[in-house]
Amino acid sequence: MNLAAVNRVLLHPAAKPLLWLLCLVPLAGWIWGGFHGSLGANPAETILRGTGSWTLRFLCIVLVVTPLRQWTGLNALARWRRLLGLYVFFYSVLHFLAYAWLDMGFDPAAVVKDLARRPFALVGFLAFVLLVPLAATSFNRAIKAMGAARWQRLHRLVYAIALLGLLHFFWMRASKHRYDEVLVYAVVIGGLLGVRLWRRLQAAPSPRAAPVARNAQPSRVTGS
Amino acid sequence: LPGNRSAVPGAMVMDKPTAYADASTYNNFYEFGTDKADPARNAGKLQTRPWTVAIEGEVKKPGVLDLEALLKLAPMEERIYRLRCVEGWSMVIPWVGFSLAELVRKVEPTGNAKYVEFVTLADPKQMPMVGSRVLDWPYVEGLRMDEAMHPLAMLAFGMYGEVLPNQNGAPVRLVVPWKYGFKSAKSIVKIRFTDRQPGTAWNKAAQQEYGFFSNVNPEVDHPRWSQATERRIGEDGLFAKKRPTLMFNGYGPQVASLYAGMDLRKFF
């Protein structure tokens, strides 16, 4: 298949709804497991860890979109970025809910006290809080109201969020000296942020070769 | 492996025992893998016979005890203990064995013996994770002499009326119910009496996080886990509020006197 054909498949009207459904598979798995008692001896832990892992995975997936689009020229991928970004938020909400409800018994005072006592949890919470403005400005009218440049600057927060999420995960695993999985996420996130930094450095010395011009896109998808 | 009802005060808690299926498949036994399900999957290969336990250090009767001799050392008792993991979950397990004190008395510690060190099996041929850098193998645990002599500290050979499954620490393990689960060393091959506090596995790995004593204490948090509450495996529903953790895991009436005058925030 050539590039145009792949682009056509990606642009098929059914592609986005399919992706939307595919992203719900992890959630469906926990619900199914909950009803069938197959979430293991400690279902709360399974859900808490699962929602956390999927938040981190969706973060990696959404950060892949722009470099992959630039590298392959599959511009249709840009259409998926917002959906994937919102799924980062969706799973982070589930992760926070699992923590607040299953671990803290939905007691706000207990949550506040716990966050104050455990920097590990606080870092995760901070990443979650930073996701809120991104999710809140994800619709077209917000982008228009803010202006593309400001919107893009705000949405660069995702890099900080990714690093905080990684720190949160590293900190959890550090207590048991299990670094193998952390290393995989660190390499992926580090690589994806590194690619952006590299492109920026490449573009910087010569103001004439502004990359924006070459990759001209509708304003809401130019942010990388 | 049958055992008579223990007469040791505090040895028969009234809590409902955890399902055997949960107690034998949700384990921390890092030599066999770091996932909770790994030990049950990987411990099948562990050879538990023949098995010997070396007695070393400050004792009048050092030597090597065969498992058969160890099993006959004292009458088997059944004891239903709460088990509180440092990760914030708990179980209730009917163990079969006898007080560690029975063995300690038999080997006659000298006046220099202040601590007891438990060294566990570290055989890379049988244990896939030995050789990894997760911990400094072999896994070592330790107790102060008076803790080791407390009647609630037990050597267990079985659980639920049966011989211990390998993943639960066969053929012989320690059970210290008022301390976090990791203090209860599994698959013990050496017991050493020393005049110095032993360097224990988790303490060596992260001094600020895991103290030598590691008594269950809802007042002293682990940086990753709040120790104020716990979830009882198999019993507390998904949406149930976690239950409060008890000081010394509820064994305060029996063991608190061991720590009289000690600052338990400092000696955590």
Domains of chain A by residue range = 9-202
Closest to A84 (Cα-Cα) out of A151, A131, A129: A131
pLDDT-derived band at A214, boundaries 50, 70, 90: very low
Task: Compute the distance between CA of residue A163 and CA of residue A127 in angstroms, rounded to an integer.
Answer: 9
Query: Do A42 and B36 count as a contact with CB atoms less than 8 A apart?
Result: yes
The pair of three-digit structure tokens given for residue B4, joined into one six-digit string: 């008579």
The structure's pTM equals 0.86
- Mean pLDDT, rounded, for A102-121: 90
Give the closest of A117, A120, A176 to B34, CB-based: A176
pLDDT-derived band at B225, boundaries 50, 70, 90: confident
pLDDT-derived band at B239, boundaries 50, 70, 90: confident
ipTM (interface predicted TM): 0.83
3-state secondary structure of B244: strand
Task: Compute the distance between CA of residue B103 and CA of residue B155 in angstroms, rounded to an integer.
Answer: 9
Give me the pLDDT at residue A3, please: 84
Of A79-88, A206-215, B208-217, minimum mean pLDDT range: A206-215
b/e B105-116 (16+ beta carbons within 10 angstroms → b)? eebebeeebebb
Per-residue model confidence as pLDDT tens digits over B70-80 = 999 999 999 99
Residue type, A211: P
Closest to B121 (Cα-Cα) out of B67, B83, B161: B67
Task: Compute the distance between CA of residue A63 and CA of residue A204 in angstroms, rounded to an integer.
Answer: 22
Per-residue model confidence as pLDDT tens digits over A116-139 = 988 999 999 999 999 999 999 999
Give the closest of A118, A119, A175 to B226, CB-based: A118
Give me the pLDDT at residue B131, please: 86
Task: Compute the distance between CA of residue A34 and CA of residue A32 in angstroms, rounded to an integer.
Answer: 5
pLDDT-derived band at A207, boundaries 50, 70, 90: low
Give me the pLDDT at residue A220, please: 47
- Residue A142 predicted with pLDDT over 60: yes
Burial class (CB in 10 A: 0-12, 13-18, 19+), B169: buried
Q: In chain A, count H helices and then E strands.
A: 12, 0
- Residue A205 predicted with pLDDT over 70: no
Give me the pLDDT at residue B33, please: 92
The pair of three-digit structure tokens given for residue B34, joined into one six-digit string: 């770091």
- Residue A176 predicted with pLDDT over 90: no
Give the residues across from B190 on adjacent strands. B54, B119
For chain A, what is the mean pLDDT? 89
- Residue A208 predicted with pLDDT over 90: no
Task: Compute the distance between CA of residue B177 and CA of residue B79 in angstroms, rounded to an integer.
Answer: 10
Asked if the C-beta of B35 comes within 8 angstroms of chain A's C-beta atoms, the answer is: no
Cis peptide before B109 (omega within 30 of 0): no
What residues in A contact B224, CB-CB < 8 Å? Answer: 118, 120, 171-172, 175
Q: In chain B, count H helices and then E strands.
A: 7, 13
Query: Do A102 and B239 count as a contact with CB atoms less than 8 A apart?
Result: yes
